[in-house]
Amino acid sequence: MKRNNITSTDLKRLLISHNLLVAGRVFFEIFINVFIWKQTENLNLVAWFNIAYLLMHTVSFHAFAGFVKKGRVHLPRQAGLIGFAVVYFIIYLLKEEAIKYIIPIAILIGICNGMYWISYQILRFDLTNTKNRGNYTGLENGTKIFVNIIMPSLGGAIVVANWYNWGYSSLFLLGAILFLCSFIIGNVKFKVNNTPHFHIRKTFAIIIKDKDIMKSMWGHACSSFSRGGTIARLLIPLLIYDVLKNEFHMGGWLSVFSVIAIISSISFGKLIDYKHYKFLLIIGGLSYFLLIMSVITFPTFLTYILFGILIKIVDILIRVPKRVISENLILSLKKFKNHRIEYIVIREWFNIGIGRIMSFVVLLTATNLVMEQMRIAIAIMAFAVLVEIVLLTSIKKEVLN
């Protein structure tokens, strides 16, 4: 593929900065959930924490899109990183008392997260092209996996070591430092397209009439409801912790899962031709469905470990093609530069506002980590994977060339 290289210094600095952000986020994506469960053994509170965070992320993502559209793409990203650092430092100061303010903390994290992601997604789109977008996505996933090899074990070791009786608060002091480093490295004025008028209603009216784009949108909703929702992000880590009762051992297993996937992720984006993407979507979707059903049918520690290992490989077969299809569909819009930010905001409505939030709403039907209580919710998520694959593979536009 021509131009399938990542040579831009801007892109490289963006990628490094982004992965420092990813490293800091591990502490709330994994360890805050474990912290809440360890303190309360209340699965509903864990779910409400995530619902509050995701709801505010969606609102913030939309609210700051206008700034980005006017060319101020750096301000929300930089403010989000500083905000993350401040929130993490507050958690560090509160220590165990943070559990009393867990919902306000979720709201603050959601606002910072939305500010960061609206900027990053636009930068990523503007700095890549149709030829190297798959390569960048594969590299982004690969470096993210590398971060996920290190951080869960490191975080678990810090909690178990409990230096100065700081426990979990030590994680968030380190996280605050990582966000500040991300701010410094990513403090580069990337060149972006400046289209001052933010017209979400006009773009939504165009998108809703386009069957292929709507298939992609609903595919994102199904994806976040199933693969990107509660199973891999929340339930598997919690189930492993509930068996082992040790954060370091849990983090060690999560790191092992990531080791399995790193080579396949980088190789996929660089070497796999777009013409194979739809076939791999089918293989990945069916495999993912069967793996989820195995967790329901055989809820044992060994099943959780096998799921965690295999899912890291299978997920890449879906994640990279889905991203490339979705972002290349933007180019099918007439005068796409005038609609690209609105498109990404609308996609976030489906992705987070509908898909991921609903995955935690469904989880509210269970009050404990007992498979008998969670079985129906997880089964619904499994079938959502199949719906996602049907939607993505039925897109007719030539977006994979």
The least confident of 62-76, 111-125, 174-188, 208-222 is 62-76
The least confident of 9-18, 135-144, 354-363 is 135-144
Residue 1 has what pLDDT? Answer: 42
The least confident of 233-237, 332-336, 389-393 is 332-336
Q: At a CB cut-off of 8 Å and minimum separation 6, what does 190 contact? A: 10, 14, 73, 74, 123, 126, 127
- Per DSSP, 29 falls in state I
- Domains of the chain, CATH where assigned: 9-186+201-393 (1.20.1250.20)
Question: 267 versus 33: which is more confidently predicted?
Answer: 33
What average pLDDT does this structure show over 74-85? 92
The least confident of 130-134, 259-263, 376-380 is 130-134
Q: Is 306 exposed, middle or buried (0-12, 13-18, 19+ CB in 10 A)?
A: middle
Q: Which of 283, 9, 4 is nearest to 137 (CA)?
A: 4
SS3 385: helix
Residue 55 has what pLDDT? Answer: 95
Q: Let me know: does 52 contact 154? Beta carbons within 8 Å.
A: no
The least confident of 96-100, 140-144, 202-206 is 140-144
Q: How confident is the model at residue 12 (pLDDT cuts 50, 70, 90)?
A: confident
SS3 332: coil
Query: pTM (2 decimals)?
Result: 0.85
The yes-or-no verdict on residue 357 having pLDDT over 90 is yes
SS3 272: coil
Q: Which of 362, 359, 58, 94 is nearest to 222 (CA)?
A: 359
Structure tokens at 397: 């536009």
% of residues, the chain, pLDDT over 70: 90
Query: pLDDT tens digit string along 144-198?
Result: 878 888 888 888 898 888 877 777 888 899 999 999 999 999 887 766 656 667 7
Structure tokens at 251: 């983090």
Query: pLDDT tens digit string along 238-278?
Result: 999 989 989 999 989 888 888 777 766 666 655 666 677 88
SS3 227: coil
What average pLDDT does the structure give for the chain?
Answer: 85
Q: How confident is the model at residue 199 (pLDDT cuts 50, 70, 90)?
A: confident
Mean pLDDT is highest, among 185-194, 311-320, 387-396, for 387-396
Q: Which of 176, 160, 159 is nearest to 168 (CA)?
A: 159
Residue 2 has what pLDDT? Answer: 47
Rg of the chain (C-alpha set): 20
E strand segments, 46-188: none
Question: 10 versus 43: which is more confidently predicted?
Answer: 43
**Residue labelled with tokens 């929300």:** 76
Structure tokens at 232: 């891999």
The least confident of 174-183, 220-229, 285-294, 330-339 is 330-339
What average pLDDT does this structure show over 66-81? 85
Q: Let me know: does 324 contact 134? Beta carbons within 8 Å.
A: yes
